[in-house]
Amino acid sequence: MGSSQSTLDRSIKRALGKDRDLYAFPGNPFYALRDVKLYNQTYPVKPAAVVYPKTAAQVAAVIKCAVDAGRKVQARSGGHSYANYCLGGIDGAVVIDLKHFQHFSMDPETFIATAGGGTLLGNLTKKMHDAGHRAMAHGTCPQVGLGGHATIGGLGPSSRLWGAALDHIEEIEVVLADSSIKRASATQNSDIFWAVKGAGASFGVVTEFVLRTEKEPGEAVHFSYSFTIGTYASMGVVFKAWQKFVANPSLSRKFASEAIITEVGLIISGTYYGSKKEYDALEMDDRFPGHQKAKTIVFRDWLGLVAHWGEEVALLLGGGLSGPLYTKSMTFNGCDLIPDSVIDSLFSYLDQVEKGTLIWFIIFDLAGGAVNDIAQDATAYAHRDALFYLQSYAVGVGKVAEKTKNFLRGVNTLLKDGTPGGDEFGAYAGYVDPELPDGPLAYWRTNLPRLEQIKSMVDPDDVFHNPQSVEPAGSRETPSPNGVLKKAKPKSRKRIFCF
């Protein structure tokens, strides 16, 4: 049982000193709005404290306060967890906000960058550009924080070129449950380094990243096709054509794409990293029924392209705004394609089902390329054999209606039941889904046993905890079909290498 709130308050104040801006507690004015800042209002969480340390030593001191008080700990960088796991996901946790960890530098000879764990992606892009026209793979929302993004995966439009964000990590500084401050890399504290690259929230607070960077691409073409006339069922043939094209093993890694289904229809969009002449050679306008002509924008500056991605995300998600949200995800592991008959069923379902909201979308993100070059067990990240990532998202008014939840649940069920290998599909922890019967197994798959062993060594008391975090070996239980709890046994599946 945790200690009293007043005892915790006093210990944190002693640890952080006289600067009152470094901590906030439930009794503080505007605590909920200014400090807690729920991202998904569907999952209310009440932290016991939100702290804003400025040094790794202060992070360590706060962790000691939390451990002494019997409290759980979670770090927050951008704060965009779909289930508020960056707030602990349960009441009474101590939240370590990394907003003061914004430092950045770059070696002008190796182009290795060093960045604080609280750096937001939009700021990171600008800093890398200014330091030498360098870049790395990451997502499209500029308000997302590096600390959470790069320790869970970090997928984005340049991932087929360069890998996930975590694949750029060369070294970290991390504060562990015993308040020790460690450097970790492939040659130093390698087990911790392995675990953080995919499951960081379960193992510590990463205060600094050392990152491999890439030269910014030169010219790039952003393209978009909109199909908004007719029924969803009539759009299924377009999706089939898109899947056939992107599933070609010889598809250039310069090509990134996604298929987005919304209330207004189907959008096929993406980025080609090359000249307009090279893009035109793909003859994209001839690949979809009706030979629709794409809307294209040619970018010759990296910052302009990244800003455009951010604008698109803002139109879909409202940027970093909070609200009552409901989300689902799925990773199409094994590089299996969706059968034509299942595509027909999905698009017919979209015509018929009651959605309960006007604000929803379903995104199929193309994977493969550099992400899948890396072995499944090389890092904790477990989806090296995925062809697509599915993300669905809905916004409620006041709250998310049950019919909206059933609508998105139905999408996942239809695809999982109808696609080869669907019974072993996983889920991306970056699109966290609290309803999964065994979230850890879906997120980390065959890497979970090793994660649990490392957890037993570095955090045996499960200090870094959320409702779906990695637990120490032997402590995790999952429900069987008859409702009886049993120890989970991850399924194994033959590794299939994708393009």
Alpha-carbon distance of 221 to 304, in angstroms, equals: 11
Three-state SS at 462:
coil
92: left (phi over 0), alpha (psi -120 to 50) or beta: left
Indicate whether 211 and 109 sit together in one domain.
Answer: yes
CATH of the domain at 140: 3.30.465.10
Helix and strand numbers, DSSP H then E, in the chain: 13, 20
Hey, which residues does 174 pair with through a beta bridge? 182, 206
Angle between helices 121-130 and 302-317 (to 10 degrees): 170
Indicate whether 51 and 123 sit together in one domain.
Answer: no
Three-state SS at 338:
coil
- Evaluate whether residue 113 is within a structural domain: yes
Indicate whether 82 and 109 sit together in one domain.
Answer: no
Q: Where a domain ends, among 215, 243, 262? A: 215
Q: What is the pLDDT at residue 491?
A: 39
In tens digits, what is the pLDDT along the chain, a chain of 499 residues? Answer: 467 899 999 999 999 998 999 999 998 989 999 999 999 999 999 999 999 999 999 999 999 999 999 999 999 999 999 999 999 999 999 999 999 999 999 999 999 999 999 999 999 999 999 999 999 999 999 999 999 999 999 999 999 999 999 999 999 999 999 999 999 999 999 999 999 999 999 999 999 999 999 999 989 999 999 999 999 999 999 999 999 999 998 999 999 999 999 999 999 999 999 999 999 999 998 888 876 788 999 999 999 999 999 887 766 655 556 789 999 999 998 777 999 999 999 999 999 999 999 999 999 999 999 999 999 999 999 999 998 899 999 999 889 999 999 999 999 999 999 998 888 899 999 999 999 999 999 999 999 999 999 999 999 999 999 999 999 998 876 544 333 333 444 333 333 334 5
Alpha-carbon distance of 392 to 454, in angstroms, equals: 32
Indicate whether 88 and 127 sit together in one domain.
Answer: no
Indicate whether 93 and 108 sit together in one domain.
Answer: no
Taking Cα atoms as reference points, which of 164, 167, 65, 78 lies closest to residue 116? 78
Taking Cα atoms as reference points, which of 79, 381, 56, 84 lies closest to residue 205? 56
- Evaluate whether residue 168 is within a structural domain: yes
- 8 A C-beta contact, residue 468 and residue 84: no
- 8 A C-beta contact, residue 281 and residue 264: no
For residue 138, count other CB atoms closer than 10 A to its CB: 27
Indicate whether 44 and 134 sit together in one domain.
Answer: no
Phi and psi, residue 120, nearest 5°: -85, 150
CA dihedral (148, 390, 426, 324) in degrees, to 10, reads: 60
Indicate whether 131 and 52 sit together in one domain.
Answer: no
Q: What is the pLDDT at residue 460?
A: 98
Tokens of 209: 């990243």
- Evaluate whether residue 263 is within a structural domain: no
Alpha-carbon distance of 441 to 428, in angstroms, equals: 11
Please report, for residues 29, 44, 70, the alpha-carbon distance to residue 7 in angstroms, rounded to integers and kept in the order given: 19, 24, 11
Alpha-carbon distance of 453 to 302, in angstroms, equals: 42
- Evaluate whether residue 301 is within a structural domain: no
- Evaluate whether residue 16 is within a structural domain: yes
197-207: burial string, b at 16+ Cβ within 10 Å, e else: bbbbbbbbbbb
Q: What angle do CA 385, 444, 426 make, to 5 degrees?
A: 55
Alpha-carbon distance of 216 to 269, in angstroms, equals: 21
For residue 474, count other CB atoms closer than 10 A to its CB: 10
> HSE of 413 in the Cβ direction (CA atoms, 13 Å)?
7
Indicate whether 209 and 194 sit together in one domain.
Answer: yes
Taking Cα atoms as reference points, which of 442, 430, 464 lies closest to residue 149? 430
Q: What is the pLDDT at residue 315?
A: 63
Alpha-carbon distance of 38 to 339, in angstroms, equals: 39
pTM of the full predicted structure?
Answer: 0.93
CATH of the domain at 50: 3.30.43.10
Alpha-carbon distance of 326 to 442, in angstroms, equals: 18
Which amino acid, one-letter code, is at 455?
K
- Evaluate whether residue 466 is within a structural domain: no
- 8 A C-beta contact, residue 289 and residue 298: no
Question: 483: buried, middle or exposed (CB in 10 Å: 19+, 13-18, 0-12)?
Answer: exposed
Please report, for residues 22, 81, 107, 124, 472, the alpha-carbon distance to residue 52 in angstroms, rounded to integers and kept in the order given: 5, 18, 28, 20, 28
Indicate whether 195 and 123 sit together in one domain.
Answer: yes
For residue 129, count other CB atoms closer than 10 A to its CB: 16
Q: Where a domain ends, among 74, 97, 120? A: 97
Q: What is the pLDDT at residue 484?
A: 34
Number of domains within the chain: 2
Q: Where a domain ends, among 170, 192, 215? A: 215
Indicate whether 130 and 91 sit together in one domain.
Answer: no
- Evaluate whether residue 15 is within a structural domain: yes
Tokens of 371: 């992400």
Which amino acid, one-letter code, is at 304?
G
Alpha-carbon distance of 196 to 387, in angstroms, equals: 24
Indicate whether 93 and 116 sit together in one domain.
Answer: no
Indicate whether 12 and 83 sit together in one domain.
Answer: yes
Q: What is the pLDDT at residue 316?
A: 62
- Evaluate whether residue 236 is within a structural domain: no
- What is the domain range of residue 145? 104-215
